[in-house]
Copies of this chain bind each other. A is one copy, B any other.
Amino acid sequence: MSLSKLFCDKSAAFSAKHERRKEARPGELLDAALDLFVEKGFAATRVEEVAAHAGVSKGTLFLYFSSKEELLKEVVRHNISGHFKDWNNQFECFQGSTAEMLGYCMSAWWERVGATRASGISKLMVCEARNFPDIAAFYQQEVIAPGQALIRRILQRGMDRGEFRQMELDYAVYSVIAPMMFLILAKHSNGVCVQDQAEMDPKKYIAAQLGTILHGLSMPPGDLAQPAENARA
């Protein structure tokens, strides 16, 4: 069964009005700012660098953003995906098993978020949350909450359908979130998470994590078949 068949047709309706104003403002500045904030941190990034990366002068930046902090806020707003409405819709229509749904979710997330520049937002928020509580709260409300809610619904669906074992959702959600967050950090933290980043294939990583999430590392219980004649010394 192809994945595309699994969904109904309701496509997402984008919020048009609020976006318009921001679209008018040089997206290059927001992109440059995101890249640099992620790379060097907010405090260590100079607005002049941001402007230079966007190909404009320092003064121009302040034409569009009243302050460096306001720029950060806009960066966060601009990079917060409207994916959730879409994804929630897709959840409603999904026909396959919950395992498939979870796999689809993680792949889709990687393609639409993780692999893009927008993924840096998460690292940025992790690093700057303490300094900008209001931005953190906004992010938490716009991204974390809907994200966790979606995953909860998926896991609940699995439990409801007898596919997943009974579990405490408050903790189980992190089994899905943690590997994705880790992948983002690995991508943005210069070897602090993974030894040789170039060696890591994100798709294989996601596949492997999905495998663990679904089945764990342990030998399937019934699967007594291959004993492993090895054992300890």
Contacts and interface: CB of A to CB of B under 8 A. Distances in A.
B189 A129 contact: yes
A91 interface: no
Interface in A164-208: 164-168, 170-172, 174-175, 177-179, 181-182, 185, 188-195, 199-200, 204-205, 208
Interface string A200-233: 1000110011011111111111111111111110
A41 B162 contact: no
A8 interface: no
A130 interface: yes
B126 A218 contact: no
19 contacts: A40-B130, A41-B128, A41-B130, A41-B131, A43-B43, A125-B189, A130-B188, A136-B191, A140-B192, A140-B195, A144-B191, A160-B231, A174-B194, A175-B212, A178-B209, A212-B213, A219-B231, A222-B230, A225-B228
Interface of A: 39-44, 99, 122-123, 125-131, 133, 136-137, 139-140, 144-145, 148, 155-156, 158-168, 170-172, 174-175, 177-179, 181-182, 185, 188-195, 199-200, 204-205, 208-209, 211-232
